[in-house]
Amino acid sequence: MLGIHDYWLFVAMGVLLNLTPGQDTLYILGSSIAHGRRIGVASALGISAGCVVHTLAAALGLSAILATSATAFIAVKLMGAAYLIYLGIRALTARADPISASQHPAATPLGLAFRRGLLTNVLNPKVALFFLALLPQFIDSDSPTKVGAFLGLGLTFVATGTAWCLFLAVAASHIRGFFVEHPRALTHLLGPAACCSSFLVCGWRRVSDDA
């Protein structure tokens, strides 16, 4: 089919990679704990949309630019790190209100949460290189439909990844529910601080990888 071989092996590898904690995991957990399930889900869908962008870039050969140009790779990486750090500082300087049952968790617009998830994923060049390195391993070199094969494999990975990200968002919202019922528990870790920590850690990890 489309020159794809060992498809179920690819699915198994994709699931294992999705389960491996990374920057997207921290981002989703922070967003969902700080702002609730709807914002966490919107963030997760934004990250999935970013993976679709990387799939299209790999299929069209655009990701090869990052693989061959160190300047382009570092530029995209630093932009992504700067954006994550910016989000962390914004969360840190926001007024921290105690989480209560009457608090509306979707104070952050859903569209904004989606766009933030999209940008954090799109501006991570390692995701682009991952798609460029992994997908060709499961495509016949003489396949006349390489673009279709890239899209098929990429969208498969996006589907399994989206399911996992949505699970994380919902699970993290239950942690927020615990804090709603126990407002004195770990108060210093709640609200913007949780989101701030995840953003700053992700941003710093991207910068320190080049050190």
Task: Give pLDDT tens digits for 187-196.
Answer: 444 444 445 5
Measure the CA–CA gap between 110 and 104, rounded to whole angstroms: 13
**Orientation angle between helical segments 37-60 and 125-134, nearest 10 degrees:** 50
- Domain presence at residue 6: no
User: Are residues 18 and 160 in contact, defined by beta-carbon separation less than 8 angstroms?
Assistant: yes
Please report, for residues 36, 106, 140, 175, the alpha-carbon distance to residue 102 in angstroms, rounded to integers and kept in the order given.
12, 12, 56, 16
CA-based nearest residue to 161, from 192, 117, 108: 117
Measure the CA–CA gap between 50 and 120, rounded to whole angstroms: 8
User: Are residues 148 and 80 in contact, defined by beta-carbon separation less than 8 angstroms?
Assistant: no
User: Are residues 37 and 107 in contact, defined by beta-carbon separation less than 8 angstroms?
Assistant: no
Number of domains in the chain: 1
What pLDDT score was predicted for residue 179? Answer: 60
- Domain presence at residue 120: yes
Output 183 or 21, whichever has higher pLDDT.
21
What pLDDT score was predicted for residue 48? Answer: 94
Mean of pLDDT values over 66-90: 65
Mean pLDDT of the chain: 74
- Domain presence at residue 100: yes
User: Are residues 36 and 179 in contact, defined by beta-carbon separation less than 8 angstroms?
Assistant: no
Backbone angle region of 2, left / alpha / beta, with phi > 0 → left and psi within -120 to 50 → alpha: left
- Domain presence at residue 18: no
Question: Which of 17-26, 47-56, 125-134, 143-152 is predicted least confidently?
Answer: 125-134
- Domain presence at residue 14: no
- Domain presence at residue 86: yes
Which amino acid appears at position 138 of this protein?
F
Q: DSSP assignment, residue 3?
A: T
- Domain presence at residue 2: no
Mean of pLDDT values over 37-57: 91
Q: Which residues does 24 contact at the CB level (< 8 Å), separation at least 6?
A: 47, 120, 121, 165
User: Are residues 45 and 169 in contact, defined by beta-carbon separation less than 8 angstroms?
Assistant: no
Q: How much of the chain, in percent, has pLDDT values that exceed 90?
A: 17
Measure the CA–CA gap between 122 and 83, rounded to whole angstroms: 11
- Domain presence at residue 7: no
Q: Please, which contacts does 68-72 make with residues 24 or more away whose CB atoms are closer than 8 Å?
A: 72/125
Q: What is the pTM of this model?
A: 0.69
Q: DSSP assignment, residue 139?
A: B
Q: How far is CA 178 from the centre of its chain?
A: 25
Question: Domain residues for 123?
Answer: 25-208
What is the separation, in whole angstroms, between the first and last Cα of the chain? 43
